[in-house]
Amino acid sequence: MIKDLWYKNAVIYCLSVGTYMDANGDGIGDFSGLMRRLDYLNGLGVSAIWLMPFQASPGRDNGYDISDYYSVNPAYGTLGDFVEFTHAAKQRGIRVLIDLVVNHTSDQHPWFKEARRDPKSKHRDWYVWSKKKPTNANKGMVFPGVQKSTWTHDPVAKEYYFHRFYDFQPDLNTSNPEVLAEILRIMGFWIQLGVSGFRMDAVPFVISTKGADVKKPREQYAMLRDLREFLQWRVGDSMILAEANVLPSTDMQYFGDDGDRMHMMFNFQVNQNLFYALASADTKPLIRAMDKTKKRPHSGQWGMFLRNHDELDLGRLSEKQRQTVFDAFGPNKEDQLYDRGIRRRLAPMLGGDRRRLELAYSLMFTLPGTPVLRYGDELGMGDDLSLPERECCRTPMQWSTEPHGGFTKSDKPIMPVIGHGPYGYEHVNAAFQRRDPNSMLNWIERIIRMRKEVPEVGWGDFEALNVGNDAVLALRYDWRNNSVLFLHNFAAEPIEVEFKTGLADQRGARLVNLLGDEHSEAKKNGKHCVCLESYGYRWYRVGGLDYLLNRSDV
Ligand code: NOJ
Ligand code: CA
């Protein structure tokens, strides 16, 4: 068993270069700007940065439409700047993950241009074509309401091409061995430039069979092993974090029974049920989701997140549950997207209520897995609903009270900085929060520090304890002869809970509060009694602070 898989006890921070920091004053964030903010990220304590797509791209889907995989978008810098950046990150002990977007290319990619032009060209068979419009062309759209079909007629090729996403994102024919070889070449290229792995975009679609004659797409899971094998051979401590919003019954197909496929997956099941629990104060479905996703190989890990750069997808909840979340966090039509989700950032969803924000983040940091934080959420940044679709939660980072939040000196930032209302940069910015010991930023910094000292969450086994009230989630983790215990009250009212730690020996008699002074001693009957304030939470170490003396080596 490998004992030092770095991603098992890490904090990942996701950002896009174009909206983080503009150093050369053209209004677009760049690698030089990001370099200047590395000490901020280092101070925050993150272990890894996940960079959203930064390669050459027409930019019609936030960079998820790549026109050259071996390049840096000139607006962001050069390959030279990129290597300076990975080097500078490495010097600070921060790893870099990048997006691997290989389900599709941009329609401006030279491969696609050649494929359309010449049916005999090498790249024709890199895409998926049909002479006639397939009968299921208006099925399987990922962006319902915006995307009209999955097959579009190309006037140059005079055939239809398949696109799971927007029509400017033609799908690669990933079953073609030459395409797979190219994907490995792309991975090998970036690995050589210093990245520690990939957040792999749209994995179920990458491995799916594609074609006009495919009635029921089938996942070709063996491909995942090919990717992993290659990566692990080139650089041993690199990894893949898969974006796969799938049912728990197929999770192990993605991880591989022997841990030979994806290292990490985002836990969409827990994410959606977590929002339901926050909306309803009923933790039962959340506990069920955690149980259903409990199984994973020793080397496998879940990515735990609250919000990301897309809509909060609630598609796996029942209609009634989804409505409960809509009512609580996104009741207006303009808050919602694609008939399944909410497009707001977390802080406005929770009404800017600091108690609820802390509760949500405390959960993200203590649910079984590795937390993935989105830039700006450490400040409680808001959104701009006047921007279309998912763009509303992709506004520039708010650094200070300088014009445009200190993001750029230009008068024309690539995206408008939020400059009015309670979430405007005059009120919500890093410089201001840095000076305030009680700010969200300083709270996040402290919680990251503590989370890294609680490896039980990343490595251990968890058990949900019965506390006799569904509004309270009580979790205990055990690992190497140490245990930690977390309580979270999802209700607006204070709740007193009584519970046993479930540990057989004497250790459970004392719970040491890791975030405050109020510890807990078990009563004579062996039970602890804790009163949680509304939306309150507790982090306890079971036993005493001599736990490191008691930790076993295996
Ligand atoms: C998932 C990404 O998160 C999303 O932003 C993108 O539009 C699609 N994949 C297509 O690449
Ligand atoms: Ca710039």
Q: Is 99 in the pocket of ligand 1 (CB under 6 A)?
A: no
**Residue 416 burial by CB count (10 A; 0-12/13-18/19+): exposed, middle or buried?**
middle
Spacing, Cα 419 to ligand 2 middle (Å): 20
Q: Probe ligand 1: pick from 64, 65, 171, max atoms within 8 Å of CB?
A: 64
Beta-carbon contacts of residue 57 (< 8 Å; ≥ 6 apart): 63, 64, 65, 66, 67, 73, 106
Q: Which ligand places an atom closest to the C-alpha of 76?
A: 2
- Point out the least confidently predicted range of 158-162, 176-180, 278-282, 546-550: 546-550
- Span 307-324, mean pLDDT? 98
Spacing, Cα 100 to ligand 2 middle (Å): 23
- Give the model's pLDDT for residue 506: 80
Q: Which ligand places an atom closest to the C-alpha of 244?
A: 1
d(CA 334, CA 343): 8
d(CA 125, CA 113): 12
- Give the model's pLDDT for residue 184: 98
- CB-CB contact of 204 with 253 (8 Å): no
Report the C-alpha dihedral over residues 371, 374, 380, 385, rounded to 10 degrees. Answer: -140
d(CA 526, CA 226): 52
- CB-CB contact of 346 with 312 (8 Å): no
Spacing, Cα 536 to ligand 1 middle (Å): 35
Spacing, Cα 29 to ligand 2 middle (Å): 5
Band the pLDDT of 334: cuts 50, 70, 90. very high
- Span 462-487, mean pLDDT? 97
- In sign, the C-alpha dihedral spanning 183, 187, 193, 198 is positive
Is pLDDT of 544 > 90?
A: no
Report the C-alpha dihedral over residues 475, 501, 452, 21, rounded to 10 degrees. Answer: 30
- CB-CB contact of 132 with 212 (8 Å): yes
What are the tokens at 539? 């982090």
Is pLDDT of 451 > 90?
A: yes
Residue 305 backbone phi and psi in degrees, to 5: -145, 160
For atom 10 of ligand 1, which residue has the closest CA?
64
What are the tokens at 294? 């409990």
Q: Is 474 in the pocket of ligand 1 (CB under 6 A)?
A: no
Task: Classify each residue of 9-39 as buried b or exposed e, where b means 16 or more C-beta atoms within 10 Å of its C-beta.
Answer: bbbbbbbbbbbbbbbeeebbbbbbbbbebbe
Enumerate the H helices of 208-306 as residue ranges. 222-234, 251-255, 268-280, 284-292
Query: How much is the mean pLDDT over the chain?
Result: 97
Q: Closest ligand 1 atom to the C-alpha of 390?
A: 5
- Give the percent of the chain with pLDDT over 90: 98
Q: Is 311 in the pocket of ligand 1 (CB under 6 A)?
A: no
Q: Is 64 in the pocket of ligand 1 (CB under 6 A)?
A: yes
Is pLDDT of 40 > 80?
A: yes
Is pLDDT of 1 > 90?
A: no
What are the tokens at 445? 């910094």
Q: Is 50 in the pocket of ligand 1 (CB under 6 A)?
A: no
String of DSSP letters for 192-219: HTT--EEEETTHHHHTB--STT-SS--B
Q: Which ligand places an atom closest to the C-alpha of 338?
A: 1
d(CA 214, CA 136): 10
Is pLDDT of 545 > 90?
A: no
Spacing, Cα 79 to ligand 2 middle (Å): 15
What are the strands, taking DSSP E only, across 296-388?
Answer: 301-305, 312-313, 336-337, 341-342, 370-374
Q: Please identify every residue annotated as catalytic.
A: 201, 243
d(CA 168, CA 212): 19
Q: Is 219 in the pocket of ligand 1 (CB under 6 A)?
A: no
Q: Is 338 in the pocket of ligand 1 (CB under 6 A)?
A: no
d(CA 32, CA 362): 33
For atom 6 of ligand 1, which residue has the closest CA?
64
> For residue 505, how many C-alpha atoms fall within 13 Å in the half-sphere facing its CB?
6
Q: Is 377 in the pocket of ligand 1 (CB under 6 A)?
A: no
Spacing, Cα 22 to ligand 2 middle (Å): 4
pLDDT tens-digit readout, 67-114: 999 999 999 999 999 999 999 999 999 999 999 999 999 999 999 999
Is pLDDT of 505 > 80?
A: no
Q: Probe ligand 1: pick from 201, 309, 393, max atoms within 8 Å of CB?
A: 201
Q: Which ligand places an atom closest to the C-alpha of 313?
A: 1
Q: Is 46 in the pocket of ligand 1 (CB under 6 A)?
A: no
For atom 11 of ligand 1, which residue has the closest CA?
64
Report the C-alpha dihedral over residues 208, 212, 215, 217, rounded to 10 degrees. Answer: 0
- Give the model's pLDDT for residue 507: 82
With CA atoms as reference, report the closest residue to 18 among 132, 91, 99, 89. Answer: 99
- CB-CB contact of 520 with 455 (8 Å): no
For atom 5 of ligand 1, which residue has the closest CA?
310
- Give the model's pLDDT for residue 115: 98
Q: Is 166 in the pocket of ligand 1 (CB under 6 A)?
A: no
- Span 430-457, mean pLDDT? 98
d(CA 546, CA 204): 45
- Token look-up 């989804």 returns 322
Spacing, Cα 387 to ligand 1 middle (Å): 17
- CB-CB contact of 240 with 200 (8 Å): yes
pLDDT tens-digit readout, 124-148: 999 999 999 999 999 999 999 999 9
d(CA 260, CA 73): 33
With CA atoms as reference, report the closest residue to 2 among 298, 240, 254. Answer: 298
